[in-house]
Structure 1
Amino acid sequence: MTLLALLALLAWIYLYLLHGQFWQSGPELAPARPATAVPVDIIVPARDEAETIGAVVQSLLAQDYAGPFRVILVDDGSTDRTGDIAIRAANGDPRFALLRGGEKPAGWSGKLWALEQGVAHGAAPVLLFTDADIVHDPRHLATLAARLVTPERGARLDMVSEMVRLNCESAAERALVPAFVYFFQMLYPFARVNDPLDGTAAAAGGTVLIRREALERAGGLAAMHGALIDDVTLAGRVKRGGAVFLGHSGLARSIRPYPRLADIRAMISRTAFTQLHYSGLLLALTLAGLAVVWLVPPLALVFGHEVAALCGLIASLLAVLSYQPTLRRYGRGWYWGLALPLIALVYMEATLASALRYWRGTGAAWKSRDYGADA
Structure 2
Amino acid sequence: MKILGFLLALIFISYRSVAQDPFALFTEAREKARQQNYPAYLADLKKVNELLPNYPDFMYELAKAYARNNQVNEALELLKQVNYYRFPFDFRQEPAFKNLAENPAFIELVQQAAVFLKPVRKSTLYLTLPEPAFIPEGITYDGSRRTFYVGSYAQNKIIQVKKDAPVVPFTVAGQDGLGGVLGLKANVKKQELWVCHNTETGTGGVYKYDLTTRKILKKYLLPAPAPGEAHTFNDIALAQDGTAFVTNSSLGAVYQITPQQDSLVRVAEIGRLIYPNGLALSTDERYLYVASFSGILVYDRVVKVLAKLETNNQRRTGGIDGLYFYTQNGLDYLIGIQNAFTVNGESAERIIKITLDPTLKTMTDFEILESLNPQFNTPTTGAIVGDDFYYIANSQVQKVKPGGKIEGTVVPSKVFKLSLK
Q: Is the TM value for this pair above 0.5?
A: no
Answer 1 or 2: higher relative contact order, Cα 8 Å, separation at least 6.
1
Structure with the larger strand share: 2
More helix by percentage: 1
TM-score w.r.t. length of structure 2: 0.26
Q: Normalising by the residue count of structure 1, what TM-score does the alignment of the two structures yield? A: 0.29
